[in-house]
Copies of this chain bind each other. A is one copy, B any other.
Amino acid sequence: MDPIKKLREHFTEIVRLKYIAYLLGWDMQVYMPPGASQGRGEQIALLEGIIHEKLVSDKTAEIIKKAEGLSNPSLIDVAMLREARREYDRAVRVPNELVKEIAKTTTIGHKTWEKARAKNDFKMFKPVLEKLVSLKQQESDKIDIGPTRYDTMLDEFEPGAKSDWILKIFNDLKSHLIRIIKKLDSSSDKPNQEILKKYYDPEKQWDFSVEVLKKLNYSFEFGRQDKSTHPFTTSLSSTDTRITTRIWEKFLPACLFGTIHECGHALYEMGFKKEIHDTILAEGTSSGIHESQSRLWENIVGRSREFWKYWYPILKKYFPENLKNFPEEEFYRSINSVQPSLIRVEADEVTYSLHIILRYEIEKKLIGEDILASELPQIWNRKMEELLGIKPSDDANGVLQDVHWSGGGFGYFPTYALGNLYGAQIYSKVLEKQPNLPEEFEKGHFSTLLSYLRENIHQYGKIYEPRDLLKKVTGEDLDSKYFIDYLEKKFYPIYKI
């Protein structure tokens, strides 16, 4: 058999096994009965073991080697080889014992974190966090992409990104964000969220979210929406991309923007070209680019004036008791109110990236052994004051708020902020080519934007690496000016500045 075909098929088997593992995870979060969790954990561990074994097998090594000898590979062949090699190397370099130790410790880590957060007790979490840091450092040393351990971790989520590059971008971003927030704070006519905190019937919220999904061209032929504690998107094959949302009776944005955010992720995964379906390339090219798609739809589109010009009259019909006499413009201002707050996942578009920068600065130092785990609460709280001007009431609302570290997920946080930057830069290019987009949104047409994203980003999956993709689409490297510019143009008028 053709060596590249063999490579393709071998990795498709691995990809399919991963999809099966994702179904186990989806079900666990959406429908599994409560008493089934231990058994499910054992199933996931078993399947992950099988996947790992298959990936690091001699057979994989041989298949990759043979395919690497190929002359005149196509663009897709090259990408498949690159990703196969990348995935194989990352896996084979880590000794089995360490893999198991990390798996075991992240399970304990997650449970301990849950308890520690509930009890507001960082000390309880500290020992397992220290162990996780140490294990992940060892893992980094084995994988050794470098130049630093943290760079190796980063590379897992944002291939090719280096921490120096991110540092430069974030430092620039930080000063601009602080400047903008100060300016907004000086306004004498600020919006507030009161209207969003009334009671909104959960069933109607659900129905409205489904109506929005359909208009945004989310396909219920190849996907579905369910409810879960934390919204997420998961692909269970290249023809099955599911999202979840959550409904808060007394906070309208939770379901609405949760749905649009996940829809953005899902549209990416629903748009891969047929040729790469169910292959190693059928994934977003990086966590940052993935996040750019969710945030583009959630924020740039979903919180725009034009979007609500179309949707507000419809939303009013769902909730006349709350919105009948409430002006569209005030609703638009309300969903865009900016307020430094303690919790990342509830942060607005302007302050959000500062939450990320804080985590980035801390985790980089933690991995680099410039700070100790025991210092985290203190450093966290100091940085919160520095960046956002507020101080956590306690660790549950501070350093313990996020799940990521409890699973050893160091290097992931920066991709959230990169997503904002990528999204703004991409959208500015789309607008150049399609200046009529805002007018289309006003009429409830969202397919021109989707077509552009499909053609220029979605279809490629992992064919292009994130940096190359961005350059291909926008002609430039990442530049935070687009995001800053977007924020200023949008929020100063909202704040009557």
Which of A's residues lie within 8 Å of B, judged by CB? 13, 16-17, 19-20, 23-24, 27, 31-36, 38-40, 42-43, 46-47, 50, 219-224, 226, 236-240, 242, 278
Q: For the A-B complex with A33-B222, A42-B237 known, give 20 more contacts whose Cβ atoms are closer than 8 Å.
A: A16-B42, A16-B46, A17-B47, A19-B39, A20-B43, A23-B23, A31-B31, A31-B224, A31-B226, A32-B240, A33-B221, A33-B242, A35-B219, A35-B222, A36-B222, A39-B236, A39-B240, A42-B278, A43-B237, A50-B50
Select A221's contact among B31, B34, B224, B236, beta carbons within 8 Å.
Answer: B34
Whether A43 and B27, one on each chain, are in contact in the complex, defined by CB atoms closer than 8 angstroms, is no
Task: Report A12 CB to chain B, min CB distance, Å.
Answer: 9
Whether A36 and B236, one on each chain, are in contact in the complex, defined by CB atoms closer than 8 angstroms, is yes
Q: A24–B21 Cα gap in the complex (Å)?
A: 10
A selection of 13 A-B contacts at a CB cut-off of 8 Å is A17-B47, A27-B27, A35-B222, A35-B239, A35-B240, A36-B222, A36-B236, A36-B240, A38-B239, A39-B240, A42-B237, A43-B237, A50-B50
Residues of B within 8 A of A240 (CB): 32-33, 35-36, 39-40
Whether A237 and B46, one on each chain, are in contact in the complex, defined by CB atoms closer than 8 angstroms, is no
Counting chain B CB atoms within 10 Å of each CB, the highest count among A13, A27, A33, A40 belongs to A33
Residues of B within 8 A of A47 (CB): 17, 20
Residues of B within 8 A of A39 (CB): 19, 236-240, 278
Whether B33 and A224, one on each chain, are in contact in the complex, defined by CB atoms closer than 8 angstroms, is yes
Task: Report A316 CB to chain B, min CB distance, Å.
Answer: 28
Q: A224–B34 Cα gap in the complex (Å)?
A: 10
Select A237's contact among B36, B224, B237, beta carbons within 8 Å.
Answer: B36
Which residue of chain B has its CB nearest to the CB of A46?
A: B16
Which residue of chain B has its CB nearest to the CB of A50?
A: B50
Q: A395–B344 Cα gap in the complex (Å)?
A: 63
Task: Report A178 CB to chain B, min CB distance, Å.
Answer: 45
Q: A436–B34 Cα gap in the complex (Å)?
A: 35
Which residue of chain B has its CB nearest to the CB of A220?
A: B33
Task: Report A292 CB to chain B, min CB distance, Å.
Answer: 25
Q: A287–B478 Cα gap in the complex (Å)?
A: 63
Task: Report A283 CB to chain B, min CB distance, Å.
Answer: 15
Residues of B within 8 A of A34 (CB): 221
Q: A24–B50 Cα gap in the complex (Å)?
A: 17
Whether B31 and A16, one on each chain, are in contact in the complex, defined by CB atoms closer than 8 angstroms, is no
Task: Report A245 CB to chain B, min CB distance, Å.
Answer: 16
Task: Report A233 CB to chain B, min CB distance, Å.
Answer: 14
Whether A40 and B237, one on each chain, are in contact in the complex, defined by CB atoms closer than 8 angstroms, is yes
Residues of B within 8 A of A27 (CB): 23, 27
Q: A47–B13 Cα gap in the complex (Å)?
A: 10
Residues of B within 8 A of A46 (CB): 13, 16-17
Residues of B within 8 A of A221 (CB): 33-35
Residues of B within 8 A of A239 (CB): 35-36, 38-39
Q: A59–B80 Cα gap in the complex (Å)?
A: 34
Which residue of chain B has its CB nearest to the CB of A40?
A: B237
Which residue of chain B has its CB nearest to the CB of A42?
A: B16
Residues of B within 8 A of A20 (CB): 20, 24, 43, 47
Q: A36–B22 Cα gap in the complex (Å)?
A: 15
Task: Report A41 CB to chain B, min CB distance, Å.
Answer: 10
Residues of B within 8 A of A226 (CB): 31
Residues of B within 8 A of A222 (CB): 33, 35-36
Task: Report A160 CB to chain B, min CB distance, Å.
Answer: 30
Task: Report A329 CB to chain B, min CB distance, Å.
Answer: 38
Residues of B within 8 A of A23 (CB): 23-24, 27
